[in-house]
Every structure is written in structure tokens, then in C-alpha cells.
Structure 1
Amino acid sequence: MPTGLVAVEPAAVRERIQQDLPILQACYELSLAKVPELGGRFMLSFDVISSGFVQDVTLQEQGCQYHQHKKGLVQPGIATTSLAKIEHVVVLTLENRSFDNLVGWLYTPELPAKTFVMPVSSQPPYYDGLAYGNFSNPNVPSALPISVPVQRGADHFTIPDPDPHEAFQYVTKQLYGDHKPVFGDVAPMNGFVRNYATVEGSTPEHIMQTYTPEQLPVLSFLARQFAISDAWFSSVPTQTQANRAFLHSGTSDGQVNNGNPFFYGSKTIFNVLSDYDVSWRVYSDSGVLPSLVRLNMTRLWSPIFNRHFQRFEQFKRDAASGRLPAYSFIEPRFIHDAPFVGGTVNSEHPPTNVQAGEQFLADVYTALFRGANWDKTVLIITFDEHGGIYDHVSPPWGAVPPDDKSQPGKQGFYFDRFGVRVATIVVSPWVDESVVFRSFSTPYDHTSILATIMDWQGIPRGELPSKRVQAAANITSVFRRVTPRKMPDMIHLPPWNVMKEQSDFAMGKRKLTDFEKGVIGAYTHYMNHLKGKKFNQRELKQILDHIKTLSDANKHIHRLRQQ
């Protein structure tokens, strides 16, 4: 069994012992040992089984040992953590930013995290960010400098612009260069600059620019006030739609890239929750478009699910009144549709302005934790994939292929390799300040959210026919508080105007990103499905070939709405 590691204060150790002893029905051993390297803190180490359940707890203090034993049956870890106090799980998934791009400078040797929840053997033994090394990528041939270093601080809030490559074949080049990887190959992560150089209109070194905590005050505030994982990986080394499919179903039906078809037919977590009479809603800030969840997942097309899909304004009302469902999934705005409803894209997908995402994060946090059930709520913030942007950590192998369609899936991929790291933050009054956490078993990926929800609700993981979900680690170890803490006020955001950088005219002329093409394709297919019209992939491709810019997309949306 893997051994876990948690740094905690002595008083918290004793309080935790008093709480766990009457609850755990497992046989375990307790002892105390002081660790000088941690400045007088204590180490709490414990064994967990693969699904994240506590099996054995050990506390040690140097020069003093004592033992207490309690025999009985092993109980799920949910019962021994404060996650059992949670009534509302809220997940917000933003777009296409790597871990290093957003939070690479969150902690430094001068400003380390206070608490680490991770295996004893986990490496490195500190926050795996950019302040602990010198990172670079080879420049394009014959260009100077020969090596392009990571830049601390982005030149502006739409970096990188234009949108990087993010399809499966390009991600492989970003990670491995021209090498074709075989199982177990550690990625040198040295192909980002050269791959971005192949994007028309790009400045290759921009792919190595990263945002500082001062540039992203909301995301950094939440990560430092609560818990962030520095070892959370996207589910597939590719672009948005496959990763979002894993987030909802634990599989992408063998698909690796956005494209035609634009939908997935597997059972979703929402179907499972409906089967078990567990409440859920998807709240979307998508403007005129329906929820992307609904567009992509055909098992949610039935009109019986209509009431489960609401707008973001309804989310704020539900949070304020204490009427949120057990599971809420929040979507940002993916398409610039100001001609219809005003507003701007806040998904953080390049090349849109990350400040809009900052404001959206602040709105979500304030709605939840100034609402009626703030002390019974957890917010999980993550990003679907890295978006072709530099990260220095090689994604691990050993991912479990979810189903027969994935062995192999498209492009011969066996779904045995995780995608690039993304920032994942857990926000709750039951989570301590300044925590960095990692998995004690299978590496965290988006299916860990599904595993956590199902374990929390006592639903057998087999209800989702995905072997990846069944093997996933849940996030129970981060919920260690005995009582809820007071939630800090959201920081004051400086005034900004995203339209200064992205006017309606400029946005209208901009070419669609690959993701935006996928959203329009899914919307076209869904709208025609509602009207009983069927057409093949060739017909859909012919329609989409004529949609080049955001202006074209808005005209197409208008036509579909008028038909």
C-alpha cells in the first residue's frame, strides 16, 4: 500500500486522533514523531487503498511512541473526512490553460505552501512549480536565442494569441518532439516552441510566457486560501471535447480530437444521478447557445432533462436561497455572441482575455460562499486541458483505458497516457488554507471528480461503464477539518475593460479556433436533431466549411434560431 504524508500542527493532530478513533472501524496504529525539517510541524502518514479509503493511520513524534489499536471492518474514507458534511458539490471547468501557465509561480522557496497532502515517496517534496528550476524549450532551427526560457509574467492578458495547436498529433509533438513515444517514455516537454511556430501568425516564444499571481489575483487567492493539486492531469493528451467527455462520462468513446462527429453517446454522471434520485443541474453562462454538456452528450438530449439546464443567473439565485442541487456543473461562455446578448467570452480559452475568467471566478465564489448553505458546499475549479501551452511536467503513463472503443481508439491511441497537467483547486470551509495535494494511488485526472461524486453519494462506480472511473482516486484526503472555517472575502478586483483589447469588430473578424468550430458543429447537429432533421457527416462538413470567422458563426447561429 502507498504511504501518505500530511504536514499538520500538533493541536490539529491530537484533535484529529480524537475524531478518527471513534469513527474508524479499521485496525490501525498511532504514534507521534516530530520532523525537524518541517520547522516543528508533525507528519501524519497513512495508508490508503486504491479507491482512496483510509485503512491505516500512523502518527509519529521523535523520541516518543505509543500504540492504540482498534479492530473492525474497513470503512470508506468519506466517513472519516469532513466531505461527509458536504451537501453541495459544484464543479467549474474552464478552458485550455496549462498548470505552469496559470499557477507556476504560486509558491516559491520564499513563500512555500503550509501543508502538503501527498505520499511520502512523492517527488518533488515541494510545490512542483517554476520557481524551483530553470526551464526552457529549444527555439526553432537557426533562430536566436537557441533556447527560449520560461518568462515570468505575460506581456498581455490574451497570451498566447493566436490559439496554439491542441489536437492529439500536435500534443504528442509538444511533449516528445519528433520522437514517437512507446509505453513508459518520459516526455522531455521540449516541443512547445517549435510546434507553436507552425501556427500562422504566431510569435513562438509567447508559448513560454506565464502569468504571475499578481496578474491572476482571483485564481491565486483561491489557490493560496484553499487547496491546489500540483499533480492533476487532463484525462487525454489532446483537446477540449474528449477531455470534457471524460469529465462527464469517464470516456470519449475512443475519440481523441474535436470534430465530426461532435457528440458522445456514453452514459453520463448526470444519468447516473437521475437513476439514484440525486439532484443535479448544469448552469451555463453560454449566452444564446444551449449548454455544451447537452450539445455534446446525446444521453441528455431527451426533453425530460430540460429542467436540469439553467442559466448562470439562476445559479446565483439558487446559491443565495440555498436551493442548489447536490451536484452543480457550471459552464463559462465559450463563444463571443455579443451581437445577441452582450458580454464576452470568460472561458479563458486562448486568445480570449483571462481577466474575464477572473471576474467569472469571483462571481462564482461570492455567490456560493455568501449564499445560504456556504458551510455545506465545496467548489472544484479545474481546466479541461492545457491548450497547447507549455508545462514542464511529463504526464504519467499507466492510465486505464476506459472501454473497448479505446483499445485502441482513433489515431491508434490506447488511452494509457494521461494528458498535460492542469490547475485544480478545491474550495470549501472544510479545507485548510495553503494546501498542496497529490493522489495516494492512481494519478489524479478528471475522472477523479466522478469518483469523488459517486463515493460521496454511495453510488457504486460500476454504474458508469468506465474502467478509468473505477480506478480513479477520489479527493477525500483534502477534507481534514473538524469544523468549518470562516470563508475569506473575495479580493477587490481592479477595474478592467476586456473590450479595449477585443472590440466587437476585431472579434468578428477573428478566425474561429478549432474548439469554437466544434461548438458550432455540435450546436448545428443538436438544433437539427430537435427539428427531426437528419444529415450525414459530409453534409455537416459542407456547412461548417463556410463558417470561417466569429462573424460567420454569429450569422449561422442567427439562421438556426430563426428556422
Structure 2
Amino acid sequence: MRLPLILLLASSSMISSGEIPVAAATNPIKHVVVIVLENRTFDNVLGYMCYLRSTGSRTGNACDGATSGRRSDGTTVPLVAEPNVRPDINHSHESQVKAMHGGLMDRFDQVLGCNTTTSPCLSQFKPDPSTGQVFIPNTWSYATQYAIADHVFEPFTASSWAAHLELAAGTIQKWHGNNPRTGTSGTTGKGWGCNSLKDAPWDATSTTMVQYPSCVPDDTPGDGDLYPYKTPSAPYTATIMDRVAAVYPDSATQPAWKIYVQSLNAAWSICATFYECWSAEAGNKTHVVSPDTLPIDASGLNGATLPPFSFVIPKNFNSMHPSFSAADGDNWLASMVDPILQGPEANSTAIFVVWDDCACIYDHLNPLQYDTSWGPRVPLLIISPYARAGYVSHTPTTFGGILAYAEHTLGLQPLGSQDGAAYNDATGAAWFQDAFDYSQAPIAPQAPQRTATSSRDRAYITTLPHHPWS
């Protein structure tokens, strides 16, 4: 097992968001936890909180959030209050490209599913004018108490399936970015697994797409999982779990990595290895376990411990995904984060909470000025007792920055170009080194809040469709 990396970090717990830390401290982090939520942009989740910081009514360093947005008719309008439950919006690769409009960020209102009254896409979470309460209080509390990044972008204009491949492998290979759909196999099944017999678009050349089996394994007991009905050309590609396993062998009490997920038959589950995303079983129950077991691992009871690296994936109704309750997702997030912060390994754990794609909800910041392949901006919370309170990391980066943090911290080699670019950033800011101060007194956790979802919203959820672009 490799020793933790020595990082160059400053000693103050809250510094100007433009400074790069300079004082040395030893990195105590031994556990990296990545919690993946669904389909929101930075302006949608944190934009109004940034505005409150600018007015002095909320603490924290300045962050780049908008409270108004541009429409396709050239007008600038205030971002309306985001409801707790709202319909989904088409956020396919094509819709994201359309919404960005070459970097002008003014065609979100033309995306299929955007409706100014029932499904606003120029919207953001705001406190209720009468109560002062926001539907996602824990998310805002973590953003205030710990650190955030306000320049994290989708690496590609991709929906959830490809975004999760990117989170695991730092690449989507040549997958086009859209979610698996009914293909040429004939009869199809549930999920996006091998036995779903669904296809996803693959860029055979720069101008030609073909349909290949997506084959994210469906591990429902007794289902009789199938291998692809035809062989894709996609090659084997290593994931962060492969890297971790090579350095941290499974022990008798704890595997090297875990994916905390209800079941891999969930549409957007992360695969244990990239190869299993289209051609093998993912039946290792040592590594793929229910999120309900995370609080047990975090508790330290009976020798329980967190693995060196883990992904945590909610069920759809707890994911903050449009067409479900955002408040339920915020409650679930706290139910995962709080046991870690209250547990014996809190001071050796870093938690990254990231949203996987934009949902084609408005964000004002143009990603194409940094990289022509990037997609819209997504929120990132950086939670650790050693995170700088109220700090904002401004360096433009992607999901590769999260992988690069894990690679530096756990002594791993980069997977590819996306995480490699962040990994090689000499300042460390592209992999969020600037968001930590390992010499500060550890931040004590606050009690989480619980937000109820009204019976009216519960009824509304049952009427909403769940689209294949999710």
C-alpha cells in the first residue's frame, strides 16, 4: 500500500478563492467517496445561493452563479423559482448542443420539454418568500460549511449512461453520449443491461454512428443475464476501480472499492469495470452493495470500515432527478453524508457530491471557452472536515478532476486524458487540492435537516413520465 501523497496546502481554513495554498501538510485522507446525483446545473442548484453570498446574507467566498438567463428571442429574464417536483426535459446530446448554441447559452427554452409554466428550464432553487426555506437545505448547508467548485463541466454532452461511464473511466470511449434505446435486437427488456438487448450509438468514424449493445449488466436475481446479442467493437477500458484494486488488495474485512447501489439493473448504475458495461456479468456482491450498508461501514461497529474508494448511487426517486422530489433527494443525501461525518473515519474521508448531467436546465457559463467538447456546468460539493469552509474552487475542470484527486490521494496512476489533464496540473487546483487544508482544526458536522414533500407533490410525481433520455 502506498503512503499518502504530500500536498502543498495553506493553513487557514478560509482563504480568498483566488489563492493557491502554499504551506505543506500531510494528506490524511484514506477514503474517497463519490456520491452521484442526477440532472441539475450549477445555476439551478447553487446559483441563487451565490447571489445571497454576494449580498452578504449568506457566508462564503464569491461564486459564479446567475439569477437571470437569456432566451432564444434575445430577452434576459429572471430565473424563476425551481419547484420541488417538475417534469423532465430532453437532455440528449443533441438537445444539450442546441441549448448551448455555440456557447451563447441562449437556446435552453427551445429544448423539448421546456415550458415556461409547467416545466421551466430557466429556473433555480430559491428560499420560499414566506418561510425562507429552500427545498434542498442540506445541499446549501454543505456548500456553506464545506467547499464547492463552480467551474466543473460535463466532459461531453452526454446523458446519464455515458456520464457514469465517464465518472468511472475518465472516458466514454467512442460512445456517442445518448442513453441506450430500443435497437435492432427485437424484443427489449428493462434497464440498460445485457438482458435489456438495447443499443447505444457508437461513433465508428467522425461522421458515422452505428448501434452497439450498451450491455450495462442487469443483476436481478433469477433473471438469467445475457451476453450481448452481437459483439460491439468497443475495447476493454480500465476504470478507477481497476486502479484501486491494483494498489489496495481486498482484505478479510473490507474490499478495496465498493459501489453502493440498490441494484445494477437501475438504468444509470456505474459498472464495476468498463468492460462489464457491455460484455460481462457484474455479480460480485462483495463490491456491489446496497446504499443502506454505507452507514454501517461508516459506523466502525464490529470492525466495519469504509473502502479506499466508493461510488454511491441513489434510486431514481432519491436522486434529485426531475420528475421526482428534490427534497427527497436532499434528505437522502444527508442520510449518506451524515453517518460518514459522525463516524470514526470522518477525518480520513473526502466526499465529492456531483450531479451527472445538466438536464438541459439553464446555466449561464459557456463551457466551450475552455474546451470545445465540454458540456454544461454541474454542481460539485467537496465535503470533509478538512475542506475549507465556504471556499470556492474556480479552476475549469471536469469529472476527471474528481478521479485525479482520488488518484493523487490513493497513490494511483491516471486512467486517460480527462483525468490525466487534471492530474498533471502543477497547482493542484484542477483536482481540487486548493479546496482542502489538512492542517486546520477539523470542521465539526452540523445536524442535517429533513424536508417534507407535500401530498400534492406526491400525487404529481405519479402523473409524470420517465423518459429514455434520463
| TM-score normalised per structure 1 | 0.62
Q: Distance in 2 between matches of 1:130 and 1:44?
A: 19
Is contact 2:30–2:409 with CA below 8 Å preserved after alignment?
A: no
- Does the C-alpha gap of structure 1 residues 294 and 42 become closer, same or farther in structure 2, counting only changes over 3 Å? closer
The reply to whether residue 211 of structure 1 matches residue 125 of structure 2 is yes
For residue 163 of structure 2, the aligned residue among 243, 250, 256 is 243
**Residue identity opposite 1:111 in structure 2:** G
Counterpart check, 1:258 vs 2:211: no
1:243 and 1:189 mapped to 2: Cα distance? 21
* Residue 283 (structure 1) aligned with residue 260 (structure 2): yes
| Map 1:372-383 → 2, pairs under 5 A | 372-383=344-355
2:393 aligned with 1:437: yes
Q: Is contact 1:319–1:371 with CA below 8 Å preserved after alignment?
A: yes
Give secondary structure in 1 for the equivalent of 2:34. Answer: strand
Identify which of 445, 470, 487 aligns with 2:420. Answer: 470
Distance 1:172 1:356, change over 3 A: same
Please state how far the C-alpha of 1:420 moved relative to its aligned partner. 0.6
User: Where does residue 234 of structure 1 map in the other structure?
Assistant: 154
Q: State the Cα RMSD in Å.
A: 3.2
1:88 deviates by: 1.1
2: CA distance, partners of 1:94 / 1:174? 21
CA contact (8 A) 2:90 2:469 kept: no
**Correspondence 1:135-154 to 2 at 5 A:** 135-139=69-73, 147=75, 149-154=77-82
Q: 1:475 to 1:355 in 2, by over 3 A?
A: same
> What does residue 327 of structure 1 align with?
309
Amino acid at match of 1:242: A
Task: Go from structure 1 to structure 2 and tell me whether the alpha carbon gap of 1:172 and 1:153 turns closer, same or farther (over 3 Å shift).
Answer: same
For residues 380 and 477 of structure 1, the distance between their equivalents in structure 2, rounded to whole angstroms, comes to: 14
Contact kept? 1:280, 1:326, Cα under 8 Å: yes
SS at match of 1:165: coil
Corresponding residue of 2:96: 171
Q: Deviations over 1:31-60 (max 9, x none)?
A: xxxxxxx9xx889855xxxxxxx8xx59xx
Query: Please, which of 419, 429, 442 is the counterpart of residue 485 of structure 1?
Result: 442
- Name the stretch that deviates more: 471-480 or 295-304: 295-304
State the 1:508 CA deviation. Answer: 6.0
Cα separation, partners in 2 of 1:136 and 1:319, compared to 1, 3 Å: same
Partner of 2:108: 192
Q: Which amino acid aligns with 1:477?
A: D
CA–CA separation in structure 1 for the residues paired with 2:389 and 2:93: 37
CA distance in 1 between counterparts of 2:42 and 2:432 reads: 18
CA distance in 1, matches of 2:39, 2:313: 14
Indicate if the aligned counterparts of 2:69 and 2:122 stay in contact, CA closer than 8 A.
no
Tell me the secondary structure at the aligned position of residue 389 of structure 2.
coil
Partner of 1:23: none
Aligned to 2:352, the other structure's residue is in SS state strand
Q: What is the Cα deviation at residue 352 of structure 1?
A: 1.2
Equivalent position of 1:340 in the other structure: none
Write out aligned runs for 1:85-164 (5 A).
Answer: 85-108=28-51, 109-111=54-56, 126-130=62-66, 134-139=68-73, 147=75, 149-154=77-82, 156-159=83-86, 161=87, 163-164=88-89
Structure 2 counterpart of 1:327, which letter?
Answer: F
**Per-residue deviation at 1:302?**
4.8
After superposition, what is the alpha-carbon deviation per residue over 1:275-311, rounded to whole angstroms, capped at 9, x for unaligned?
Answer: 2225110111459759811389434745674310110
Q: CA deviation at 1:203?
A: 4.2
Alpha-carbon distance between aligned partners in 2 of 1:293 and 1:189, rounded to the nearest angstrom? 30
Distance 2:456 2:179 in 1: 31
Aligned 8 A contact 2:178 2:469 in 1: no
CA contact (8 A) 1:167 1:239 kept: yes
Change (3 A) 1:304 1:192: closer
Equivalent pair of 1:432/1:481 in contact (CA under 8 Å): no
- AA partner of residue 99 (structure 1): F
Aligned length: 386
Partner secondary structure for residue 267 of structure 1: coil
CA distance, structure 2, for counterparts of residue 166 and residue 44 of structure 1:
33
- How many Å separate the matches in 1 of 2:462 and 2:81? 28
| Residue-by-residue CA offset, 1:211-231 (whole Å, 9 max, x unaligned) | 115322111000011101111
2-structure distance, mates of 1:310, 1:380: 19
Q: Alignment partner of 1:294: what SS?
A: coil
CA distance in 1, matches of 2:18, 2:116: 48
Counterpart amino acid of residue 154 in structure 2: S
Matched, 1:418 2:374: yes
The two structures have a TM-score, normalised by structure 2, of 0.74
Check the 8 A contact 1:268/1:299 in 2, yes or no.
Answer: no
Distance 1:101 1:509, change over 3 A: closer
1:493/1:251 CA distance change after superposition, 3 Å:
same
| AA partner of residue 511 (structure 1) | P
For residues 126-163 of structure 1, what are the alpha-carbon distances to aligned partners after superposition, in whole Å with 9 as ceiling and x for unaligned? 421125xx533135xxxxxx736133422x3113x1x1
Shift of 1:86: 0.9
Q: Which has the higher contact order (CA 8 A, sep 6+)?
A: 2
The amino acid that maps onto 1:271 is D
Counterpart in the other structure of 1:359: 331
The CA deviation at 1:262 is 2.3
Given that 1:7 and 1:43 are in contact with CA atoms closer than 8 Å, whether structure 2 keeps it comes out as no
Report the AA paired with residue 514 of structure 1: P
Alignment of 1:79-90 (within 5 A): 80-81=24-25, 84-90=27-33
Correspondence for 1:298: 275
Q: List per-residue Cα deviations over 1:467-496 (Å, max 9, x = no partner).
A: 2221123111211241442423223324x2
CA deviation digits over 1:345-401, x for unaligned, max 9? 1111112110111111110121111112111111110101111100011013554xx
Partner deviation per Cα, 1:91-128 (whole Å, 9 max, x = no partner): 10100001111110113322287665xxxxxxxxx421
Q: Which has the higher helix share?
A: 1
Q: Which runs of 5+ in 2 are unaligned?
A: 1-7, 128-132, 181-198, 200-212, 216-233, 250-255, 423-429
Contact map agreement 2:170 2:418 (CA 8 A) in 1: yes
Give 1:509 shift: 5.9
Do 2:323 and 2:466's aligned partners in 1 also have CA atoms closer than 8 Å? no
Within 5 A, what are the aligned runs for 1:513-532? 513-515=467-469
Q: CA deviation at 1:190?
A: 0.4
Alpha carbons of 1:221 and 1:137: their partners in 2 closer, same or farther (altered >3 Å)? same
Gaps of 5+ in 1: 1-5, 17-37, 47-53, 59-79, 117-125, 140-145, 182-186, 335-344, 400-415, 517-563
1:289 and 1:460, CA in 2 relative to 1: closer, same or farther beyond 3 A?
closer
Contact 1:362 / 1:490 at 8 angstroms: preserved in 2? no
